[in-house]
Amino acid sequence: MNKFSTFFIFLVSVTLVACSPPPKFKAYTAPEQKTKIVEKIVYKGNGVDSEKKVREDYAKLPQAFTYKKNRKSNNGAYALVIGINNYSENTNVDYADNSALAFEQLANETFGIPKENIITLLNDKASSGQLKAKIELVKELAEKGSNLYVYFAGHGVPGKDGSTYLLPADMSADSIHLEPNLKLEAIYKKLSQSLASNVYVFMDSCFSGKDDAGKLLYKGVAPVLRTNKTKVESKKLTIFTAGASTDFANDFEDKKHRLFSYYLLNELSQGGKDLSAMYEKIRRKVKRNSLMKGIGYKQVPQLYSSSKRALY
């Protein structure tokens, strides 16, 4: 066969292929399957950290306090409320979020602080970054001549340098020294720089380095840590703590609150304005109930104030 014949046969073949109708393909249909779609909600952390869920659960509890209503609005005042029940790196602080929500309600109804002036951080929302940011925010927001309130319920820990720190939800005790801005002294200093005439800090926390069950927060070690005395230099600061630096900060299981917070809120919700006057009553009840748990759970609240002033 010569070259011309071969080329002719190739040309005819190409033409036939090009002119042929396109092949018919049957559309693929997936076989019918009976698939059940299940919605799964996953909550982060040791427990339920969803703020909505925490608030819903709290609303279902019998209300422990009857708040005296303040008819006068305290528009210039601000409050920062922090409650950390669930920690990602440490054991829980039972009922810390409950007590924080109760303080939030107290701030609004009894102190007269508008809701928009109350900043609340619960559980996983109280991260290291958020704690620092919101402390700075309320410091800047507080107006001249007004009051600023800060409430914290959660772990406090001693650092390697002898300073005491607030422990955010996303950090472990053995790394807290990396956050110098969360030292109590640094926080108190920053708050005292606000324009507010008075700053009230309520600290329901233990700085012994142990949790509610007496277990060490430092992993795998038994630290020998000396806690320096926290300096309170500003005259505008009033600080009410759950106990001394070596005391436990106990829970109050019967009331679903922290022990110190329960008796503090019980007094404040009735309209008490003089912390000095109510201190002895709160101190006596907290001390008694803590000792009933065991001598090792002794807790004696401490009040630090350079002057006597009305709470609101």
Residue 165 has a pLDDT of 93
pLDDT of 160 reads 78
The DSSP bridge partners found for residue 152 are 82, 203
Residue 266 lies in a domain: yes
Instruction: Please give the tally of structural domains in the chain.
Output: 1
* 3-state DSSP assignment of residue 27: coil
Residue 25 maps to a domain: no
pLDDT single digits (tens) 246-283: 888 999 999 999 999 999 999 999 998 999 999 999 99
Task: Say if 117 falls within a structural domain.
Answer: yes
Cα distances from 305 to residues 108, 124, 162, 164, 194, in angstroms, run 24, 32, 23, 19, 17
DSSP codes of every residue in 53-89: HHHHHHHHSPP---PPP--S--TT-EEEEEE----SS
Q: Is the pLDDT of residue 112 over 90?
A: yes
pLDDT tens profile 123-163:
999 999 999 999 999 999 999 999 999 999 999 988 877 88
Residue 2 has a pLDDT of 54
Closest CA to 307 of 243, 236, 240, 242: 236
Count other Cβ atoms within 10 Å, centred on residue 259.
Answer: 29
Axis-axis angle for helices 259-268, 96-109 (nearest 10): 10
pLDDT at 5: 53
Q: How far apart are CA 195 and CA 224, in angstroms?
A: 39
pLDDT digits (tens, 9 = 90+) for 285-305: 999 999 999 998 999 999 998
- Read off the pLDDT of residues 14-57 as tens digits, 9 standing for 90 and up: 444 444 455 554 554 555 544 433 333 333 444 444 799 999 99
pLDDT at position 71: 83
pLDDT at 105: 98
pLDDT at 213: 60
52 occurs within a structural domain: no
Q: Would you mind telling me the total number of residues written for the chain in this entry?
A: 312
Is 127 a member of any domain?
A: yes
In a domain, 58, yes or no: no
**What are the DSSP calls for 125-164, one per residue?**
GS-HHHHHHHHHHHHHHPPTT-EEEEEEES-EEE-TTS-E
Range of the domain at 115: 72-305
Q: Give the 3-state secondary structure of residue 306.
A: coil
On whether residue 4 sits in a domain, the answer given is no
Instruction: Determine the residue type at 22.
Output: P
Instruction: Kindly state the greatest CA–CA separation across the chain.
Output: 121
Question: Residue 223: pLDDT band by 50, 70, 90 thresholds?
Answer: very low
Of these ranges, 55-69, 198-212, 223-237, the one predicted with the greatest mean pLDDT is 55-69
CATH number at residue 186: 3.40.50.1460
**Which DSSP string corresponds to 282-294?**
HHHHHHHHHHHH-
Joined together, the tokens standing for residue 196 give 């507010």
pLDDT, tens digit, for every residue of 81-99?
Answer: 999 999 988 889 999 999 9
In a domain, 150, yes or no: yes
Burial class of residue 280 in the structure, from the number of CB atoms within 10 Å of its CB (0-12 exposed, 13-18 middle, 19+ buried): exposed
pLDDT in tens, 155-209: 998 887 788 999 999 998 888 989 999 999 999 999 999 999 999 999 999 876 5
Overall average pLDDT of the 237-252 stretch: 91
